[in-house]
């Protein structure tokens, strides 16, 4: 993606945000536009943390094959199974080790 495409995409993000579209539409649109600009994007996840005492935040999962974004809420991960899943996650590993990049080989 060149500078002009990046500037166009940044302007689009601003316009969509100011128009009041919901987050699901924004994530779907962003991923679709990235693919149209040549980025080999297959899957994307966007996390939005909140300060709500019961719901820790929302996660948006976009998959190119389906062309849609699925949104879900998640609770706090400070106890039980949620804490155990967090400790097994690549995000926890990167946070604990200070790694800036994590590569995983996926096999069919």
Per-residue pLDDT averaged across 82-95, rounded?
88
User: Which tens digit of pLDDT belongs to each residue from 26-64?
Assistant: 999 999 999 998 899 999 999 888 776 666 788 999 999
Measured distance CA(56)–CA(92) in Å, rounded? 16
Q: pTM of the predicted model, to two decimals?
A: 0.67
- Angle (CA) 55-58-62 rounded to 5° is 160
* Together in a domain, 28 and 58: yes
The predicted structure's pLDDT at residue 27: 94
Secondary structure of 7-27 as H, E, C letters: HHHHHHHHHHHHHCCCHHHHH
Print the domain residue range for 89: 77-108
Q: Are residues 64 and 81 in the same domain?
A: no
76 to each of 1, 19, 41, 79, 90, how far by Cα in Å?
37, 31, 29, 8, 17
pLDDT, position 74: 79
How many domains does the chain divide into?
A: 2
What SS3 class is residue 92? helix
Confidence grade of residue 83 (pLDDT, cut at 50, 70, 90): confident
β-pair partners for 62? 44, 69
Note whether 51 and 91 are same-domain residues.
no
């Amino acid at each position: 993606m060149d500078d002009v495409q990046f500037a166009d995409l940044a302007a689009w993000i601003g316009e969509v945000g100011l128009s009041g579209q919901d987050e699901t539409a924004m994530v779907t649109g962003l991923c679709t536009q990235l693919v149209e600009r040549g980025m080999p994007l297959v899957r994307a996840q966007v996390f939005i943390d909140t300060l709500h005492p019961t719901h820790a935040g929302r996660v948006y999962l976009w998959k190119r094959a389906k062309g849609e974004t699925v949104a879900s809420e998640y609770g706090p991960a400070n106890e039980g199974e949620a804490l155990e899943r967090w400790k097994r996650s690549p995000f926890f590993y990167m946070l604990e080790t200070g790694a800036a990049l994590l590569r995983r080989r996926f096999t069919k």
